Structure 1
Amino acid sequence: MQHFPIFLDMAGARVVLSGGGEAALAKLRLLMKTEAALEVYAPAPTQDLVDLAAEGRITLVRRSLATGDVDGAKLFYAADEDSDEDARTAAIARAEGALVNIVDNLEDSGFITPAIVDRDPVTVAIGTEGAAPVLARAIKRDLEERLPPVLGLLAKVGKAFRPMAEKLPFGRARRDFWADYYFGAGPRAFEAEGAEGAEQALDALLETHLKRAARDGHVDFVGAGPGDPELLTLKARAALDKADVVIYDRLVAPEILELARREAVMIEAGKTGFGPATKQADINAMIVEHAQGGAQVVRLKSGDPTVFGRLDEELDAVTEAGISWRIVPGITAASAAVASIGQSLTKRERNSSVRFLTGHDVEGFADHDWRALARQGEVAAIYMGKRAARFVQGRMLMHGADPSTPVSFVENASRPDQRVAEATLATMTDVLAGADMHGPVLTFYGLAPRAAAAMADACEQEIAL
């Protein structure tokens, strides 16, 4: 993030603008929504600027900007529509301590003006750091449609009521109260009785929420998906938005953690394969402790919580403690990884079933039906299988599997740094060692990347001819 967004207090602030044409007028249309004192320096102003000065909305000085004119100003806009004059006036403003914006010159500007959705006192600022103004305008248009005009009035009413709302416990109870007002009771009361009704609705709503403020905590077991935040479900997004506490696994992508509510307590409960790990009993205790304290807890697991996520142990803990819970499924790594190689997990006349295995517990492999998996056309998705690769290879060959059976490795499935390596059963350990994969790897036994499979089919056809 090159440009850090802030909201400046413009009440009584002095803002100076140099320029008398359309560029200056465009900036003034936005600045006149603030409480700032606006001064415009222009030797030949347009009639629109003259009219604004006559209405008392700006102070118009009919000459070029000179040294001393910007002293004490908070912001300065160079809108001279002439690069040399912009450079001259900007230099004066910088020397006199103002933040400087040069219209249509991102590189030399000290700040940028975002696209704004105005529901005073609710203000939404949208910036793309100058990279995509069209995108910023599209987002603004979408938000303008989503946010009702009455939102600003409700915010003003709510602001005056905030001391009364402090009767509610800090945290979820207050958030639920305000969410109920702004998106439910408030709009309904305004529609029925106008501003007075919207104000009166607060007292009744507060009484309702005070009665239920002592609610018990709750736990959502949420699947974070394989890593791409766009693969996160809407229900998962909603759970993160409400969470007081997020207890997350090491493999959950940082981009997904960013979606959690800013005030939420974030706790890593990492498990590193064959390395340091938080004990499962400690994770169970943390979940129960926070939920018993009344918190809305999200137990955030990479992929889908029902697939190799030790979900049952955590469910047993919260159930025994009498805590309510919900499972929010996610996209498991196998689904994302198989999509990345252009294949499907099952295929008519090839395999009607697929096995999900975990290579983390190699000892558990001893009881697996390796003879059945070694049959032609079988497919398996092996989670956390890097260390178990040689064991799998040996077992499969021992039970008669074809050494040329395709094997694919997908590292960091769905993420920007995703990598794919193709091999065969005979070469899989050498290929995996040469690929030097350090991220989470999912191994597909019986599947090759589609491009490689297509080439193999073409070669077989040529041989047949």
Structure 2
Amino acid sequence: MRHFPIFLNVVERRVVVSGAGECAVSKLRLLLKTDANIVVIGADPVPQIRRWAKEGRLALIERRIEPADVAGAALVYGANDDEEEDARAAGIGRQAGALVNIVDNLNHSDFITPAIVDRDPVTVAIGTEGAAPVLARKIKADLEARLPASLGLLARIGQSFRHKAAMLPMGRKRRDFWSRYYSGEGDAALKEGGEHGAQAKLEELLTDSIETRPRDGHVSLIGTGPGDPELLTVKARRLIHEADVVLHDRLVPDAIIELARREAIIVEVGKTGYGPSWKQEDINALLVEHAANGAQVARLKSGDPGIFGRLDEELDALDEANISWDIVPGITAAAAAAASSGLSLTKRGRNSSIRFMTGRDVEGFAEHDWRDLAKSGSGAAIYMGVKAAAFLRGRLLIHGADAQTPVTIVENASRANQKTVSTTILALPDALAEAGITGPAVLLYGMAPRKALAVAAGVSPENIAEQAGAV
């Protein structure tokens, strides 16, 4: 992030615009929405700027900018549409200690003016670091359509009620009060009864909040999917945003964690295969501690919490502490891996069942019914199988698996850095090493990509094509 977004208080502060032509007009349309004292300095002003000056909306000085003009200024704009004069104005502004913006000159500006959606006092600022102004305008148009014109009035009514709402304790109880008002009840009252109706609704909500005892702590165990934030469920997004505390696995990406409120407590409780990890009993204790103190906790698990997520251990701890919980399913890595490889997890004539397996458990490499898996008609999604690859190959071949049984390896399923490798059970360890697969990865045993999406590792291109057609 090159430009840090802030909202600058410009009430009664001097903002100077050097330039009085059409280049300045577009900036002034936005600046005139503020409570700043705006001064425009430039020879031969265009008619629009003269009209604004005549209406008393800005002060107009018809000459070049001089150092005395920017004394005490908060912001100085260079809008002369002249590179040399803009540079001179910028130098004068910086010498006076003001922040400087040169129109259409990102590299020589101290700040940029974002695209703005104005629902005063609600303001949405949109910036693209100067990389895509057209995109910023598109986002602005989308938000303009989505945010009703009444939003500003709703916020102003709420603002006038803040002194009364202050009798509610800080934290969850007060947030719940405002959430009810801004999540639909206030807008419905405004549409039905105008300002008086919205004010009456606030009084009603306040009374209800005072009389209602605080909510007990609660834990939501949320599957965040394989990594693509767009695969997150709507319910998961809402619960993450509402949470007081967010405890997340190491594999949950920043783009999902950032959905949490800034005020939320966020703790990574990561586990690393064969590396330093949080102990499960410590995670359980942390869940209980926060919920017992009344917090709404979002426990974020990669994929689906019920697929090798040690879900039952956390539920047992919560039940023992008499803490309520709910489970929000997520897309498991196997489903994402199959979808991104252009195949289904089951297929008539190929495999009549699919197993979800782990390559290792708490005691080391996991044992399964290898003979049943090796026979025709079986397929498997194998989690945590990268380091167990040689073990898996040995067990399957010993129990009669065809050495040429296809295996699709998908690393970082659904993410931008996803890697897909097509190989066979015989070549599996070598294929993993050659492709540099370190995980997280899922092995789809008995399945090959529909299309040649894979990196050929341990199998010739001809064999990949044959397998894709055969299975």
TM-score normalised to the size of structure 2? 0.92
Give matches, 1:184-203, under 5 Å: 184-203=184-203
| Pairwise CA distance, 1:367 | 4.9
TM-score normalised to the size of structure 1? 0.94
In structure 1, the partner of 2:17 is: 17
Deviations 1:70-92 (A, max 9, x none): 23211111111222222222222
SS in 2 for 1:75: strand
Are residue 456 (structure 1) and residue 463 (structure 2) matched? Answer: yes
Distance 1:428 1:29, change over 3 A: same
Distance 1:458 1:143, change over 3 A: closer
In structure 1, the partner of 2:457 is: none
Distance 1:241 1:309, change over 3 A: same
In structure 2, the partner of 1:212 is: 212
In structure 1, the partner of 2:442 is: 442
In structure 1, the partner of 2:125 is: 125
Q: Which moved more, 1:432-441 or 1:211-220?
A: 432-441
The letter of the residue matching 1:200 is A
| Pairwise CA distance, 1:52 | 0.7
Are residue 35 (structure 1) and residue 35 (structure 2) matched? Answer: yes
Distance 1:234 1:6, change over 3 A: same
Distance 1:314 1:460, change over 3 A: closer
The letter of the residue matching 1:437 is I
Deviations 1:195-233 (A, max 9, x none): 233223322211101222422122111001111111111
SS in 1 for 2:89: helix
Distance 1:104 1:460, change over 3 A: closer
SS in 1 for 2:357: strand
The letter of the residue matching 2:246 is V
Q: How far apart, CA to CA, are the structure 2 residues paired with 1:461 and 1:64?
A: 73
In structure 1, the partner of 2:308 is: 308
Q: How many residue pairs are counted as aligned between the two chains?
A: 462
Are residue 102 (structure 1) and residue 102 (structure 2) matched? Answer: yes
| RMSD, aligned α-carbons | 2.2
Please tell me whether the aligned partners of residues 362 and 388 of structure 1 are also in contact (alpha carbons under 8 angstroms).
Answer: no
Please tell me whether the aligned partners of residues 169 and 213 of structure 1 are also in contact (alpha carbons under 8 angstroms).
Answer: no
Please tell me whether the aligned partners of residues 72 and 96 of structure 1 are also in contact (alpha carbons under 8 angstroms).
Answer: yes
Q: Which moved more, 1:283-292 or 1:35-44?
A: 283-292
In structure 1, the partner of 2:71 is: 71
Q: Which moved more, 1:236-245 or 1:198-207?
A: 198-207
In structure 2, the partner of 1:80 is: 80
Q: How far apart, CA to CA, are the structure 1 residues paired with 2:236 and 2:144?
A: 25
Give matches, 1:358-377, under 5 Å: 358-361=358-361, 367-376=367-376
Q: How far apart, CA to CA, are the structure 2 residues paired with 1:266 and 1:460?
A: 46
Query: Which segments of 5 or more consecutive residues in structure 2 lack a partner in the other structure?
Result: 455-460
Distance 1:97 1:343, change over 3 A: same
Deviations 1:302-343 (A, max 9, x none): 000111111122222223333222211111011111222222
| Pairwise CA distance, 1:366 | 6.2
Please tell me whether the aligned partners of residues 23 and 79 of structure 1 are also in contact (alpha carbons under 8 angstroms).
Answer: yes
Q: How far apart, CA to CA, are the structure 2 residues paired with 1:101 and 1:67?
A: 16
| Pairwise CA distance, 1:363 | 5.3
Q: How far apart, CA to CA, are the structure 1 residues paired with 2:445 and 2:199?
A: 64
Distance 1:376 1:192, change over 3 A: closer
Distance 1:97 1:376, change over 3 A: same
The letter of the residue matching 2:192 is A
SS in 1 for 2:73: coil
| Pairwise CA distance, 1:265 | 0.8
Please tell me whether the aligned partners of residues 273 and 360 of structure 1 are also in contact (alpha carbons under 8 angstroms).
Answer: no
In structure 2, the partner of 1:333 is: 333
Q: How far apart, CA to CA, are the structure 2 residues paired with 1:457 and 1:91?
A: 65
The letter of the residue matching 1:226 is P
Percent identity reads 60
In structure 1, the partner of 2:150 is: 150
In structure 2, the partner of 1:351 is: 351
Q: How far apart, CA to CA, are the structure 1 residues paired with 2:449 and 2:385?
A: 18
Q: How far apart, CA to CA, are the structure 2 residues paired with 1:143 and 1:386?
A: 45
The letter of the residue matching 1:397 is L
